[in-house]
Structure 1
């Protein structure tokens, strides 16, 4: 009896994981990114070392580098 319950639970878990995921309609920001092909980011200019302005007034820092890698 115990063995058959384990098999049923394992099968249910497998089917739950193996079932194809439903696609969802994009809305809001993701829809805008898909339509325009543009991702807009914002930053704080005085959050050293996360984001700040360099001598040429260009945004630099960890957050800026992370955003560049994501995009």
Structure 2
């Protein structure tokens, strides 16, 4: 898994959320674009590089607002 993360971050080194906000910031985490709910069929697909603070905030929002589908 670490090798996959490193490969993805080499291809997409900037956090997608910060970049969309016009503030290029290094990504340190790779996350699924769509929630997979631990369904192996949904674990393949597109991934996004994110800064650690962005993934932490997303997890909090997902657990409180969306209902915990991590």
Question: Fold match, TM over 0.5?
Answer: no
Short-chain TM bin: under 0.3
Whose RCO is larger (CA < 8 A, sep 6+)?
A: 2
Higher Rg:
1
Q: TM-score, normalised by structure 2?
A: 0.22
